[in-house]
Structure 1
Amino acid sequence: MSGVPVPGEHRLNINNFTHSITIIDEFKVEEASSANLGILPGFQGQHKGTTTVNGIKDAENGEVVEDGNVVQHDLLVCQPCDEDVEVVAERKTNSSGVEVMGLNGQVAARMYEYDEEEIDERPYRCKQRGCKYRARDRFNLKIHLANIHDIGVTWHPCPQEGCEYKAKMRCDLKRHLANIHGIGVTWHPCPQEGCEYKAKQRGDLKQHLANIHGIGVTWHPCPQEGCEYKAKQRGDLKQHLAHTHDIGATWHTLTCPQEGCEYKAKERGTIKRHLANIHGIGVTWHPCPQEGCEYKAKERGTIKRHLANVHDIGVTWHTCPQEGCEYKAKQRGNIKLHLSNIHDIGVMWHPCPQEGCEYKTKERDKIKRHLATIHDIGVTWHTCPQEGCEYKAKERGGIKQHLANVHDIGVTWHSCPQEGCQYKAKKRSKIKLHLANIHGIGVT
């Protein structure tokens, strides 16, 4: 922090340094013996012996204050700035209650913008440096200071031994105790006969009734003519309109800087993922720390899963609670699936709604496929694009297979590997049969 020329406009508060002082820096301690010691442009400071220290109000001598970018060293108060000439001061209070004058700082916890009418309606302004938040009353300002700046917070620690969780509000601690430790939980069971689902919150039960049983649902149909899509949530309908009908979609076509790449997306985050996944731009690779393993991933979470799945590091094994069953899994969800599929425990059966049909399944998607395949309900027919062909299928894969088998379109031919044999087939299995039947290869 020494040896840097100081412009005249910044010498005002430096001229008081008339005797030898020690500047304590995080990295070094050095002596300065004149008023012309160099302080970076935009820094302000005075000797701690003065009554009012520029930059700190009511601070005790020798007190070390650290709050964001505001630091009072043992003998010097300094404040990093973004500008060199104009000095702008706003009050900032740190967690110790010391009022700090932030000089030219533009570091804000959050940025808030209001028009003139809103400013008149919000007379209580946050005085934290760089924060433009305004509140309609003192109570909301107090909440803002606690939530955003951690000022005036009363922390509520979790009383469970070994748990380090703490919350700013009692209700959050109550939810934590219920969700994590199962303390003080009021279970809300599903009122539908035969359904064993229960939830800790009424909202979750309401969502369950809507998603699973179709109770209390407000359907939002697609407004496009001929489209039968409907959604239970407006957000899903909005996404459908953007992805399917290109309505309300904002295309970002200029964000992929790679020459010759015509990729476009409706969301900026998708473009960012595209650049990382396809072009390797903006990727931070996380290598596997195990010696000899060359695996690397673009996300830390993927490395964690890799270590657990491949190297059995950091694994928490979940065992089947059924007596005599030795099944264990690395994920709790797999235990739940195992109990359902093998032991029929915790199964929610989904019966076919068609009268007289006794079909039932453990998976909702299978009911949808069953309705389409057996009862022709909810079917989206896919027709053959070949002129004059009336073939149609319920799945795209059926059309693809039909085009290959009937029209020889998109076929991958598999030829017999025997020298001189010209046999070829559209399926590998037929090559295997051919080798066994004709050439006696692979015969058991």
Structure 2
Amino acid sequence: MTATAVPATGRCPFGFDAAASLDLIDPGLYAHRDPHPIWQALREHDPVHWQQAGPDLGFWSVTRYADVDHVLRRHDLFTSEEGSLLTLLGRGDPAGGRQIAVTDPPRHSQMRDRLQRAMTKRSLETHDGMIRAEIRQLLAAITDDTPVDVAALLTDLPMAVTGTLMAVPRADWPRLTRLTTMAIAPDDPEYALPGGPGETLREAHRELFAYFQDMLHDRRRAPGEDLISRLVGTEVDGRPLGSSEIVSNCYSLILGANTTTPHVPVGALAELDRSGGYRDWARRPDLLASGIEEALRWVSPANHFMRHATRDTEIAGVRIGAGDPVVAWLGSANRDERVFDRPHRFDVRRKPNRHIAFGAGPHYCIGHTVARATLRVLFAELFDRIESYKVTGEPQRLVSNFIAGYKHLTITARLREVVS
């Protein structure tokens, strides 16, 4: 490992206490504090920052847009196959080379192709009515002048879409939603098991993998047009994917959908309440698309992705040793003053908006079309239904260093009058 960049005094050169303020692994940082001032200081003073995480363990953090983009695009220099999340730091990822999210090209491209074709805009048009009906059913829980926890409500949003695309029975949607949240927020008291984060992760993984093993058995007996059946029919290097590869990719698909999409509208509603910008956006249907892109930039629900250097290289003049972990902070990149004018302002008119909330390069989120389609319908339905709202009570963020979002956000809404 490369030597730490933090001075021996234990204080960073720009005045933050390294131990208290720069533990970027700590899930509590993202739940109880605002990481953006820390990221801003890192971008300005220490954009390629080393954090020691143990006697023989540490990682580099890149916080500027250009460096994050570089790390994510250059799979030849920064591999995903050693683990893409900080929870795997120093342990490696057993799914490396077998799961799309942690497999490098060219094998990655072969694994991804059939799924990607099933999630194009044209393919999704056949599901538009279903998506709209599910969203309307969810939003029916928002009634006039009655407090409702929209964060809890919208946790069901992704399963309404991805669950259908994977042909997962509706009765199983709540269970899968909870298990995927346990997998990305094992430190959160609302999801943690008595044995702590380690037990929580193991149980979530055990149940999810067992569930999709059963689903795979059913699909092999009676294949259909769903995403699991497409994985069954996928060949890589001239051979079908094995059972463990299919199950691992089912896990990755459901995890990616369930743990990111709902946080975008919730985070946007929290900020629109603070800034007073809801009515302005709701009255401008022509700004629906640009506003959704701004919501994605603002929330950046996937907080980070980790890579490992395949050989000695440099980032912004800093030497990175072969094998060193490098963590790319998407939430920081999407507030980089070098790329975004007034980055700490939520601006639904923002153009251009080259955010990287879905990542960059070969691992650009496979479900981005599904996510955008879902968000378009959701915000359109919100604007049609809700005249105004106010956040009531104290919002609570998810205790996670991977997902940036709220687990509780209670609002009281005033509904629009229905003209008969």
| Higher RCO, 1 vs 2 (CA within 8 Å, ≥6 residues apart) | 2
Q: Normalized per residue, which structure has more helix?
A: 2
Same fold (TM over 0.5): no
Coarse TM-score class (shorter-chain normalised): under 0.3
Greater radius of gyration (CA) = 1
